[in-house]
Amino acid sequence: MTAAAHPTDHREPAPLSGDRTRIHIGSAHRPWTKRPVKLTDALDFWSFAGAAANVAMQMARPGVGYGVAESKVESGSLMKRPWKRARTTTQYLAVAILGTDEERAAFREAVNAQHRHVRSEPGAKVKYNAFDRELQLWVAACLYIGFEDTYQLLQGRMSEEQAEAFYASSSTLGTTLQVTEEMWPATRKDFDEYWNKACEQAVLDDFVRSYVDDLLNLRMIHWYLRLPFRNLLKFLTTGFLAPHFREEMRLEWTAADQRRFEHLFVFVGFVNRFIPRFLRHGGSHALMADLRLRMKMKKNPV
């Protein structure tokens, strides 16, 4: 056989670009105010509509996926204690964005105590360590993508200047744990370059894909809670995933699905304008109040 008979042999995969690694945002930004937008503006309760998609994105990186799926820390297990895991994750986001340096340090210490037990065994198929800063950077980047996507679905696509202002204070999503300030991409453009390159390492195998499938189908909660929400969750989760991740997870998504997803958030965004900010952001502030009470009472923050 000649090389021409197998034109794809040894061919390097094409670099990923934004149309493959980001979801589509249709309309332009509809500002409520002339002040620059900030990451704190994204603390809407609607942000958690994409929570399952964000976990799936994080787990697409093998070191994270195997670390979560094989973790022996039952107190934080997504499948065994889903409500506690959800509270811990959302509280982490709240303290990373709204907390003081002291509060972030306390939360970091508590999370580190659990992370010390999350490491691969000798000879494991995939090596991982919860203190790996590169893996933590990936998780933090996924979290940022989740906030930016949700904000833009509700408010419209940001301009470059707005996106830069929104991004400016986002480094604490990683530095609240072990990511250093120097590791976090300095500008929004730098972040795009990091993200597209990092997504090339987001490759699922059958083991992690099966775990994610359990998450998407809510198999961690009782059936009577699962049935009313399973289809809606799967629709929202698939919609919040960029094409690259949908393909890795083998999820179907049609042009009609995309239209329904975008129309849903046009409606939600319109309704959102009439809901007072203190209600939309109340959950995050309640989590901060809970954290401060725990710290005052010398209890474990997580």
Break the chain into its structural domains and give their ranges: 32-296
pLDDT in tens, 136-191: 999 999 999 999 999 999 998 998 999 999 999 999 999 999 999 999 999 999 99
In terms of Cα–Cα distance, which of 37, 34, 55 is closest to 188?
Answer: 37
pLDDT in tens, 68-99: 998 887 665 676 777 777 888 899 999 999 99
Largest interatomic CA distance in the chain: 74
Instruction: Look up the pTM and report it.
Output: 0.90
d(CA 147, CA 166) in angstroms, rounded, equals 10
109 has a pLDDT exceeding 80: yes
